[in-house]
Amino acid sequence: MVLRQLVEHAQAFGWHAYTPVSTTRLRVRHQPPYVLSDEEMCRLFAAIDFQAMSSYSNKALVDPALFRVLYGAGLRVSEALNLTLADVDTSAATLRIRDSKNGEGRTVPITGRLAATLDTYIAAAHPAPESSDHVFYSVAAGRPINQATIYMRFRGYLANAGIPHFRGGPHPHSLRHGFAVVNLRRWAEQGADLAVMLPYLACYMGHADLRGTQYYLRLTADAYPDVIAKAQIRFGYTIPAPAEDKP
């Protein structure tokens, strides 16, 4: 982006200069994403888990597993809804992600606890499983849930948990944010080298480059001040201080 701007400036003065191809779009965030606290997360999952079964909807069966996949594996909502039974290997504790945002597939490991949750859910939700069936479905296994439906359900769970909703969040993608923040916080507490861990997190979450993952490091430092000292050791030159800290 910087090189393109320099070239355009030179061309404006009549210079002959090659314009490099822009391969990455610059994303401008107008509002920081909302990261649910540990206490809010507990209340949210309590609201999701303790809903009554209904003959009109299968959400009481589907949503406890679906939202745990979003939070426990850091998936985008579209990635979770696109999962088929062939993509889930509970014995190896892996999920195969196809047609992701960046157009590249990946296979991600999950915890044994999440694998067991999925194993129990699939046995209940897919009594006659077909490999092409969607893991999370609305009416029939061949019909995935609409993302707008997931958003509306999430709004209802927030209300039941007493968590206010406002412009900018929380929303289902907040669970993906929470996955990144929780892992970065845990690694910092364990004394892990965050410079080494960031590429692993970027690959796991399907980021095209490290910029999105470094953004999560900034969120982690803001939410948990004890992390900022450890982050500054390796990333002080790339992550600017908040505006109120600048002289």
Note the pLDDT of residue 247: 43
Domain ranges, ordered by start, for the chain? 38-161, 173-245
Note the pLDDT of residue 246: 43
User: Mind listing the pLDDT tens digit of every residue in the chain (247 residues)?
Assistant: 778 778 888 888 888 888 776 665 555 554 667 788 889 999 999 999 998 888 788 999 999 999 999 999 999 999 999 999 999 999 999 999 987 776 678 899 999 999 999 999 999 999 999 999 999 998 776 678 889 999 999 999 999 999 998 877 799 988 998 898 888 888 878 888 777 888 888 888 887 766 666 667 666 665 555 555 555 555 544 444 544 444 4
Q: What is the pLDDT of residues 135-172, one digit of tens each?
A: 999 877 667 888 999 999 999 999 999 999 887 779 99
The CATH class of 38-161 is: mainly alpha
Query: Kind of pairing, strands 94-97 and 88-89?
Result: antiparallel
Written as one letter, the residue type at 37 is: S
Note the pLDDT of residue 160: 95
Secondary structure string (H, E, C) spanning the chain: CHHHHHHHHHHHCCCCCCCCCCCCCCCCCCCCCCCCCHHHHHHHHHHHHCCCCCCCCCHHHHHHHHHHHHHHHCCCHHHHHCCEHHHEECCCCEEEECCCCCCCCEEEECCHHHHHHHHHHHHHHCCCCCCCCECCECCCCCCECCHHHHHHHHHHHHHHHCCCCECCECCCHHHHHHHHHHHHHHHHHCCCCHHHHHHHHHHHHCCCCCHHHHHHHHHHHHHCHHHHHHHHHHHCCCCCCCHHHCC
Note the pLDDT of residue 245: 45
Q: Are 149 and 138 in contact (CB under 8 A)?
A: yes
Note the pLDDT of residue 108: 93
Beginning with the edge strand found earlier in the chain, give each strand of the sheet holding 106-109 in spatial order.
88-89, 94-97, 106-109
Note the pLDDT of residue 224: 57
Note the pLDDT of residue 9: 82
Note the pLDDT of residue 98: 86
**Number of other CB atoms surrounding residue 150 within 10 Å:** 23
